[in-house]
């Protein structure tokens, strides 16, 4: 909303300089975004909050200035209600009909005859130009001038163009203005020369046959006021905010008029503001005031709010004197009456549709008294009934651990394209989609973090960073469920290394009984991917990303390892409790053994077989290496293990350890045909 300093001065005495006034307005909730000098005036650009349509006018802002500076509002002098007007020519009676009272509760039409359409007076042209409007002619300019002064959008029709398409049968013909819904097949050419297709969602002003204006949004070209116009019909009405907004969005038209109707205009002042315009027209365009036709009712319900002044202190932490409260409301044109000790009855003026309950009244007191009058205090904060979700601690632990191994945290978009998921070989079968995506790039809620991690990797490969690991913690969406996930991607690390990072992570979370099992996953290379589970709960995936995916993503790398964990699924198994287990007293003895085994025998099988012996002094089994060669033979592999023995009671002798080894070797050769090298 733009207003000028001098325009405001028509309605309130201002002694403050423009900058000081801007500051006052800003601190009262009318944020002044900019002040620009224009000729001998200053233009204020003010951001008006959606709850205050009354501020979308010079008078509304002047009223606020009066209240915050303690000056009187000078409205009565400037505006004067006009009389009924006269019918000087027998050019037929008009009827105004409203078909949809919900969409238009009140409509008024004033006839003014014999106007002279010409350029507006210089002062008016200057003001309109100052706020960025293009002057047209005196009639149109006055409707705009009154719109900005009062907040009431007006429209002037050329009377002689209404119903012009059929020859008036008799001079006493009933001429009609109908406020109705548009019909599906109807069209109108608006004043901007565009043909608009109409639908029943759109409210129109029509004559007997055709729409002549889109209600509250834009007039029609046909009935537009132009140089040769002599008689006009001045429309002033109240159109429903919802209907206006719907039509405005449907048609893609937003005008100064629709902007105000969308936020609601002051129904009670519809006629008064029309009279103000009529007066200006007669002053500046001559002509004779004709009759005023009305349909519907401008009545609004009287609102009286009981206000216990002591509630101000309870809510603000600062008392505001009763006398001050009273003067604030008087300045804002509310009626105030005492109703018992510290209780006021406040009558809300019709233009303040935002004030409906005691809290609104408190806000007004607070706003005009100034937020800076409220002191600062620190409340006693009691323990909340709400307990923090374990997920938060899990996330912190993960972040800490992964940063410790040199990984970088990333945040990527949760909205992705179908195309990207296809590239990442992610199934689209049960993804969740947006109803109204901005573009195809952001159509789907990500079911996995993999794509985002790949894009981070690509960005860094392009900028020359190699051998980096990235992780993301964020929500994923699939099969109707939103879940928190962790994703990790690594360049320049071997599969076992990444598995080690995952194992470290799971250990930090206190997870026991974690199992990696070979599985299939469309995004990972066959035979190189595993599921991760605890019991029968699947908690994640790890594997080597398919080379095709890297190629499709234009990532010039091979050997990318990724892992994903579903934090929601592993949460029930997390255990942060730690108990100190003591330190060993006696030294341990470590022996390495190398076994030649068949390809098909996995490490876990060997460990399982050794574990089955339940050797009481076998403390650790460690993997040392795997080795294949011609010498060993096809279909065979050599596995080296490191076995650590320790007794809690004494130092073990060589003989004892040898006996253990023999037992282990015997078992492995018997059960798994292992051969010691």
Stretch that binds other proteins, among 85-93, 369-377, 515-523, 658-666 (CB under 8 A): 369-377
Stretch that binds other proteins, among 356-364, 520-528, 556-564, 627-635 (CB under 8 A): 356-364
Stretch that binds other proteins, among 197-205, 216-224, 456-464, 622-630 (CB under 8 A): 456-464
Cβ closest to other proteins, residue 75 vs residue 476: 476
Binding residues for other proteins restricted to 201-260, rule: CB under 8 A:
241-242, 245, 249
Q: 340: left (phi > 0), else alpha (psi -120 to 50), else beta? A: left
Cβ closest to other proteins, residue 264 vs residue 274: 264
Pick the binder of other proteins from 122, 184, 228, 436 (CB under 8 A). Answer: 436
**Nearest-approach distance from CB 242 to other proteins, in angstroms:** 5
402 touches other proteins (CB under 8 A): yes
Q: Give the residue among 166, 245, 170 at the shortest CA–CA distance from 202.
A: 245
To 5 degrees, how large is the angle CA 622–CA 625–CA 629? 150
425 touches other proteins (CB under 8 A): no
Q: Give the residue among 362, 353, 377 at the shortest CA–CA distance from 268.
A: 353
494 touches other proteins (CB under 8 A): no
The DSSP-derived string for 517-586 is EE---TTEEEEEEEEEEETTEEEEEEEEEPHHHHHHTT---S-EEEEEEEHHHHGGG------------S
**Nearest-approach distance from CB 261 to other proteins, in angstroms:** 13
- Alpha-carbon span 261 to 53, nearest angstrom: 9
49 touches other proteins (CB under 8 A): yes
504 touches other proteins (CB under 8 A): no
Pick the binder of other proteins from 6, 442, 528, 640 (CB under 8 A). Answer: 442
Cβ closest to other proteins, residue 245 vs residue 499: 245
Cβ closest to other proteins, residue 406 vs residue 535: 406
Stretch that binds other proteins, among 86-94, 216-224, 455-463, 604-612 (CB under 8 A): 455-463
- Alpha-carbon span 124 to 443, nearest angstrom: 50
375 touches other proteins (CB under 8 A): yes
Pick the binder of other proteins from 169, 385, 512, 583 (CB under 8 A). Answer: 385
The DSSP-derived string for 314-331 is HHHSS---HHHHHHHHHH
Binding residues for other proteins restricted to 1-30, rule: CB under 8 A:
19, 22-23, 26-29
**Nearest-approach distance from CB 193 to other proteins, in angstroms:** 26
Stretch that binds other proteins, among 117-125, 308-316, 319-327, 633-641 (CB under 8 A): 308-316
Cβ closest to other proteins, residue 419 vs residue 662: 419
Pick the binder of other proteins from 92, 94, 322, 413 (CB under 8 A). Answer: 413
Q: Give the residue among 456, 413, 454, 459 at the shortest CA–CA distance from 437.
A: 413
State the angle between helix axes of 58-69 and 18-26 in degrees (0 to 180), rounded to the nearest 10. 90
417 touches other proteins (CB under 8 A): no
**Nearest-approach distance from CB 58 to other proteins, in angstroms:** 20
Contact by Cβ (8 Å): 597, 636: yes
- Alpha-carbon span 643 to 663, nearest angstrom: 13
475 touches other proteins (CB under 8 A): yes
- Alpha-carbon span 549 to 440, nearest angstrom: 20
371 touches other proteins (CB under 8 A): yes
**Nearest-approach distance from CB 382 to other proteins, in angstroms:** 4
359 touches other proteins (CB under 8 A): yes
**Nearest-approach distance from CB 89 to other proteins, in angstroms:** 44
Phi, psi of 158 (to 5 degrees): -80, 105
Contacts by 662-667, CB closer than 8 A, 24 or more apart: 663/613, 663/615, 664/593, 664/610, 664/613, 664/615, 665/593, 667/609, 667/610, 667/612, 667/613
328 CA to centre of own chain: 35
Cβ closest to other proteins, residue 392 vs residue 583: 392
390 touches other proteins (CB under 8 A): no
Helix (H, G, I), strand (E, B) or coil at 416: strand
- Alpha-carbon span 236 to 631, nearest angstrom: 101
31 touches other proteins (CB under 8 A): yes
307 touches other proteins (CB under 8 A): no
State the angle between helix axes of 58-69 and 322-331 in degrees (0 to 180), rounded to the nearest 10. 160
**Nearest-approach distance from CB 374 to other proteins, in angstroms:** 5
Query: 577 CB contacts (<8 Å, ≥6 apart)?
Result: 510
Cβ closest to other proteins, residue 185 vs residue 377: 377
410 touches other proteins (CB under 8 A): yes
**Nearest-approach distance from CB 435 to other proteins, in angstroms:** 4
To 5 degrees, how large is the angle CA 592–CA 595–CA 601? 125
């Amino acid at each position: 909303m733009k207003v000028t300093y001098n325009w405001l001065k028509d309605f309130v005495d201002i002694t403050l300089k423009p900058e000081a006034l801007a500051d006052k307005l800003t601190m009262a909730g009318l944020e002044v975004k900019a002040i620009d000098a224009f000729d001998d005036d200053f233009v204020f650009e003010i951001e008006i909050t959606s709850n205050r349509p009354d501020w979308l006018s010079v008078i509304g802002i002047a009223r606020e200035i009066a209240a915050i500076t303690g000056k009187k509002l000078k409205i009565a002098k400037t505006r004067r209600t006009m009389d009924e007007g006269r019918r000087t020519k027998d050019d037929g009676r008009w009827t105004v009909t409203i078909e949809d009272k919900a969409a238009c509760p009140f409509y008024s039409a004033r006839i003014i005859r014999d106007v002279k359409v010409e350029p507006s007076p210089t002062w008016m042209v200057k003001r309109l130009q100052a706020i960025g409007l293009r002057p047209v002619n005196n009639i149109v300019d006055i409707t705009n001038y009154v719109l900005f002064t009062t907040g009431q959008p007006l429209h002037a029709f050329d009377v002689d163009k209404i119903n012009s398409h059929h020859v008036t049968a008799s001079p006493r013909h009933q001429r009609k203005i109908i406020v109705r819904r548009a019909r599906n097949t109807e069209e109108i050419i608006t004043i901007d020369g565009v043909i608009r297709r109409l639908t029943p969602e759109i409210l129109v002003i029509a004559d007997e046959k055709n729409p002549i204006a889109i209600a509250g949004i834009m007039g029609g070209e046909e009935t537009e006021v132009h140089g040769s116009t002599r008689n006009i019909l001045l429309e002033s009405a109240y159109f429903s905010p919802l209907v206006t907004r719907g039509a405005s969005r449907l048609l893609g038209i937003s005008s100064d008029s629709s902007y105000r109707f969308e936020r609601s205009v002051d129904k009670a002042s519809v006629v008064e503001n029309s009279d103000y315009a009529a007066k200006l027209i007669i002053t500046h365009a001559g002509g004779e005031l004709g009759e005023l036709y009305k349909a519907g009712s401008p009545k609004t319900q009287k609102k009286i709010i009981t206000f216990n002044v002591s509630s101000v202190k309870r809510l603000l932490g600062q008392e505001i004197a009763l006398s001050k409260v009273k003067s604030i409301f008087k300045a804002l044109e509310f009626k105030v009456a005492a109703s018992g000790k510290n209780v006021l009855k406040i009558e809300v003026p019709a233009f303040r549709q935002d004030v409906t309950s005691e809290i609104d009244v408190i806000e007004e007191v607070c706003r005009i008294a100034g937020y800076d009058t409220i002191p600062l205090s620190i409340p006693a904060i009691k323990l909340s009934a709400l307990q923090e979700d374990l997920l938060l601690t899990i996330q912190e632990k993960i972040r800490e651990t992964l940063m410790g191994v040199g990984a970088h945290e990333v945040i990527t978009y949760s909205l992705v394209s179908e195309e990207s998921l296809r590239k990442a070989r992610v199934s689209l079968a049960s993804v969740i989609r947006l109803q109204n995506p901005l573009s195809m790039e952001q159509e789907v809620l990500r079911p996995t973090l993999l794509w985002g991690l790949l894009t981070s990797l690509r960005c860094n490969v392009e900028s020359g960073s190699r051998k980096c690991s990235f992780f993301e913690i964020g929500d994923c969406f699939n099969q109707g469920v939103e879940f928190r996930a962790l994703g990790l991607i690594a360049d320049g690390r071997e599969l076992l290394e990444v598995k080690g990072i995952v194992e470290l992570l799971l250990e930090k979370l206190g997870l026991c009984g974690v199992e990696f099992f070979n599985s299939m996953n469309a995004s990972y290379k066959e035979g190189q991917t595993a599921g991760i589970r605890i019991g029968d709960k699947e908690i994640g995936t790890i594997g080597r990303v398919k080379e095709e995916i890297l190629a499709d993503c234009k990532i010039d790398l091979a050997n990318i390892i990724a892992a994903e964990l579903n934090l929601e699924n592993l949460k029930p198994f997390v255990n942060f409790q730690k108990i100190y287990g003591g330190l060993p007293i006696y030294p341990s003895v470590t022996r390495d053994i190398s076994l030649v085994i068949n390809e098909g025998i996995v490490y876990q099988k060997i460990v399982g077989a050794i574990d089955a012996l339940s050797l009481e002094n076998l403390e650790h089994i460690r993997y040392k290496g795997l080795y294949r060669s011609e010498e060993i033979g096809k279909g065979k592999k050599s596995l080296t293990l490191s076995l650590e023995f320790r007794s809690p009671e004494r130092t073990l002798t060589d003989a004892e350890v040898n006996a253990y080894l023999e037992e282990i070797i015997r078992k492995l050769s018997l059960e798994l045909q292992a051969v010691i090298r």
